[in-house]
Amino acid sequence: EAGVAQSPRYKIIEKRQSVAFWCNPISGHATLYWYQQILGQGPKLLIQFQNNGVVDDSQLPKDRFSAERLKGVDSTLKIQPAKLEDSAVYLCASSLAGKFMYEQYFGPGTRLTVT
């Protein structure tokens, strides 16, 4: 079974530029998550989708971050414009459903450096 795929793996941009990350979850997984992991910290949930609807985006900085999951499969996370403090690893995860104890499977992440 293929795992969660993410691209690109690494991205370096200057502040005020835009960037987009892509995630392809495990086939059949209805729930998709984006986490931000700042160096030295644990991952923090940015947004959770159930199919193509948003379940939780309470910690998403909506003035600069946006995410979509058209057709309930792939998802993109965008930052526009980027700030220095956005430097982090962005992790995508998926699970069969959005209730607790459906295991979340994580992708390898995209490491973003903002200079």
Partner 1 sequence: GEDVEQSLFLSVREGDSSVINCTYTDSSSTYLYWYKQEPGAGLQLLTYIFSNMDMKQDQRLTVLLNKKDKHLSLRIADTQTGDSAIYFCAESIKGGGNKLTFGTGTQLKVEL
Per DSSP, what are the bridge partners of residue 67? Answer: 77
Q: Is 54 in the site for partner 1 (CB under 8 A)?
A: no
Region class of 101: left (phi > 0), else alpha (psi between -120 and 50), else beta: left
Q: Is the backbone peptide bond immediately before 108 cis, with ω within 30 degrees of 0?
A: no
Nearer to partner 1, 38 or 84 (CB): 38
Residue 79-98 contact track with partner 1, rule CB under 8 A, x = bound: ------------x-x-x-xx
Q: Which of 16, 18, 51, 55 binds partner 1 (CB under 8 A)?
A: 55
Q: Is 56 in the site for partner 1 (CB under 8 A)?
A: yes
Q: Which of 21, 23, 25, 43 binds partner 1 (CB under 8 A)?
A: 43
- The span from the CA of 56 to the CA of 40, in Å, is 24
| Residue 71 DSSP SS3 | helix
Per DSSP, what are the bridge partners of residue 31? Answer: 50, 95
Q: Which of 31, 36, 67, 69 binds partner 1 (CB under 8 A)?
A: 31
Whose structure tokens read 């948003």? 54
Please give the residue ranges that form the binding site for partner 1 (CB under 8 A): 4, 31, 33, 40-45, 48, 55-56, 91, 93, 95, 97-104, 106-109
